[in-house]
């Protein structure tokens, strides 16, 4: 080594040393803050929700940094996660809700049928068809004027939801319909297995929830061993009186709150309305989640954001086993969010809404000719009736704008979840980026979710298979096809 290089090397050493010190300092700060939040959580039984929120956010930031809380991407929606390996043919069953005091919830698909209730007090979850017994309780537990007392609730209630029909999408031509029919997931979703129509609510005394030992995703296939019954020392865990854990992957986003968490809440809502109940959910990324929960009577004081701790409760409510997609659950959720059942304005005054992916977290699937599409719509309909969705609304605005929609048009993506605020008079046009054979692009997207949701809400669903221009699924919207779809919608809907 020549002495000429020595000063340069010294500079490098010093730079390295400074870098290492900064790193140690930074990680130290994170660890200290983290520990402080953790002990605050432990020592504070009466949670202040605002404080709780900022603490959870801090811990969440740390978790994100460590990359332990990877959010679920779009392809991982209930129907995909839950698609059964074995298809058992269902027997046709109908259910009827009890006489609901609140707004006649739950009357749509369940009229003129019998209540089918099963109660079970034993420990054999896999054998749920046995021990059939009639009771006064029917699921979903929603819409009663008073909560159902948890103290007298059976240890386990199993319920069979009614079978329902899935209608095929509306397509411009046979070719598109054939593309739809060819996909195995679509074929599978046209049928429901008995397992997919099963709901279970279990109450566990002295329950412990320890997410780190549970790899389950709080879905309808979850094993019951997610929650143990055991007494912990008072300092070892976050203690609450009654807790309902709903740790669904991706549940921090609006989309996966709607498809992963909300149906489970609806299944058990009248139980969750008991005094002292808290729900445990992933830290909400989107504020609208808290607004929806508020509308359901679950205020901020009843929400605990998961901070990776061990949670102990005198009574634990386990409601993860809920049908992944069921009209009763979705229509009740729809009503509870105050979304209108029918278009509240005359047809001519209703909106045509163009959904953009402006605020999307995933990128891709953009309309490359959005300006032309907008001009086309404004020419076809009155200009003041066409709305371009800006990417975010609060719950009130969502319900008032999407509730007045006659047509929603969008490329496959999270914005289409807003159909949940629209009435059953809406027509939803999903533009699905695909290759010539109809395979969705990118391949992993949950291509059947919006078709399924429209079926849940009895909305008219239209699919346009549109050639993808890029591997991200960017499209030049086929205006000829769109024109033909809108002709049919305007004639018939
Ligand atoms: C669904 O909507 C159609 C037409 O809007 C209506 O005739 C039908 O009764 C509805 N079905 C249910 C189950 O609500
Ligand atoms: C929770 O799970 C972790 C990871 O498996 C384990 O180390 C810990 O002992 C568990 N705690 C309780 C109270 O079960
Ligand atoms: C926990 O403690 C309660 C009250 O002290 C007791 O009744 C119960 O049996 C205990 N449960 C377990 C699983 O040890
Ligand atoms: C929702 O957003 C609208 C429009 O930005 C605003 O006027 C309204 O006050 C908001 N409502 C709530 C409850 O935040």
Q: Return the higher-pLDDT residue of 257 and 23.
A: 257
In the chain the domains, ranked by start, together with CATH numbers, are 71-137 (no CATH), 195-323 (no CATH), 338-492 (3.40.50.720)
pTM over 0.85: no
**pLDDT at position 49:** 42
**pLDDT at position 303:** 96
Q: Tell which atom from ligand 1 comes closest to the C-alpha of 108.
A: 14
Burial of 126 (0-12, 13-18, 19+ CB in 10 A): exposed
Q: Measured in angstroms, how far is the CA atom of residue 310 from the centroid of ligand 2?
A: 8
CA 336 to each of CA 66, 296, 347, 457, 461: distance values in angstroms, whole numbers, following the listed order: 37, 6, 24, 13, 23
315-335: pLDDT as tens digits: 999 999 999 899 999 999 999
Which residues lie with the beta carbon below 6 Å from any ligand 4 atom?
A: 394, 396-397
- Helical H runs in 44-101? 49-65, 78-81
- What order of strands is seen across the sheet that includes strand 170-171? 170-171, 460-467, 427-434, 405-411, 351-355, 386-389
84-112: pLDDT as tens digits: 332 222 222 222 222 222 223 332 222 22
Ligand 3 within 6 A of CB of 229: yes
**pLDDT at position 154:** 86
Which of 34-38, 228-232, 291-295, 440-444 is predicted with the least confidence, judged by mean pLDDT?
34-38
Ligand 2 within 6 A of CB of 310: yes
Residue 459 has pLDDT above 80, yes or no: yes
CB-based burial, 375-402: b 16+ in 10 Å, e otherwise? ebbbeebeeebbbebeeebebeebbebb
Residue 389 has pLDDT above 60, yes or no: yes
CA distance 414 to 391: 10
The residues with which 166 forms a beta bridge, in sequence order, are: none
Q: Measured in angstroms, how far is the CA atom of residue 67 from the centroid of ligand 1?
A: 46
Q: How big is the CA angle at 296 (ends 292 and 302), to the nearest 5 degrees?
A: 90
Ligand 1 within 6 A of CB of 62: no
Q: Specify the DSSP element, H or E, that contains 485.
A: helix 479-492
**pLDDT at position 212:** 66
Ligand 1 within 6 A of CB of 109: yes
Q: Specify the DSSP element, H or E, that contains 491.
A: helix 479-492
Q: Return the higher-pLDDT residue of 287 and 42.
A: 287
**pLDDT at position 444:** 85
Give the residue-averaged pLDDT of 257-267: 95
Ligand 1 within 6 A of CB of 191: no
270-295: pLDDT as tens digits: 899 889 999 999 999 999 999 999 99
């Amino acid at each position: 080594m020549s002495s000429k290089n020595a000063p340069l090397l010294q500079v490098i050493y010093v730079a390295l040393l400074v870098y290492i010190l900064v790193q140690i300092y930074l990680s130290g700060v994170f660890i200290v803050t983290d520990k402080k939040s953790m002990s605050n959580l432990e020592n504070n039984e009466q949670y202040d929700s605002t404080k709780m929120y900022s603490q959870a956010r801090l811990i969440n930031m740390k978790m994100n940094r460590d990359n332990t809380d990877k959010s679920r991407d779009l392809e991982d929606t209930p129907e995909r996660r839950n698609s059964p390996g074995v298809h058992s043919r269902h027997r046709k069953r109908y259910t009827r809700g009890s006489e609901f005091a609140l707004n006649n919830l739950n009357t749509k698909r369940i009229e003129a049928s019998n209540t089918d209730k099963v109660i079970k007090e034993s420990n054999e979850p896999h054998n749920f068809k046995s021990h059939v017994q009639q009771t006064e309780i029917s699921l979903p537990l929603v819409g009663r004027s008073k909560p159902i007392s948890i103290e007298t609730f059976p240890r386990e209630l199993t319920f069979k939801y009614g079978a329902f029909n899935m209608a095929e999408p509306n397509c411009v031509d046979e070719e598109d319909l054939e593309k739809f029919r060819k996909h195995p997931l679509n074929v599978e979703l046209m049928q429901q297995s008995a397992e997919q129509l099963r709901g279970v609510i279990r109450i566990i005394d002295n329950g412990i929830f320890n997410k780190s030992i549970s790899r389950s995703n709080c879905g309808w296939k979850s094993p019951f061993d997610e929650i143990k019954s055991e007494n912990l020392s008072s300092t070892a865990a976050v203690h609450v009186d009654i807790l309902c854990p709903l740790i669904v992957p991706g549940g921090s986003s609006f989309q996966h709150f709607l498809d992963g968490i909300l149906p489970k809440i609806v299944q058990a809502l009248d139980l969750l309305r008991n005094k002292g109940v808290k729900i445990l959910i992933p830290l909400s990324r989107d504020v609208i989640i808290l607004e929806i929960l508020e509308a359901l009577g679950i205020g901020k004081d009843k929400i605990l954001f998961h901070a990776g701790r061990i949670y102990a409760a005198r009574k634990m409510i386990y409601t993860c086993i809920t049908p992944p997609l069921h009209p009763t659950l979705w229509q009740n959720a729809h009503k509870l969010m105050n979304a209108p059942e029918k278009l509240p304005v005359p047809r001519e005054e209703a909106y045509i809404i163009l959904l953009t992916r402006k605020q999307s977290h995933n990128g891709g699937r953009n309309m490359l000719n959005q300006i032309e599409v907008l001009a086309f719509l404004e020419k076809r309909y009155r200009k003041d009736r066409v709305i371009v969705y800006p990417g975010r609304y609060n719950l009130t605005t969502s319900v008032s704008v999407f509730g007045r929609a006659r047509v929603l048009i969008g490329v496959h993506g999270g914005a289409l979840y807003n159909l949940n605020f629209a009435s059953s008079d809406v027509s939803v046009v999903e533009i699905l980026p695909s290759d010539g054979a109809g395979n969705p692009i990118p391949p992993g997207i949950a291509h059947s979710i919006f078709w399924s949701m429209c079926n849940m809400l009895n909305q008219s669903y239209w699919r346009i298979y549109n050639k993808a221009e890029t591997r991200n699924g960017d499209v030049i919207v086929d205006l000829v096809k769109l024109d033909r779809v809108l002709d049919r919608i305007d004639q018939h809907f």
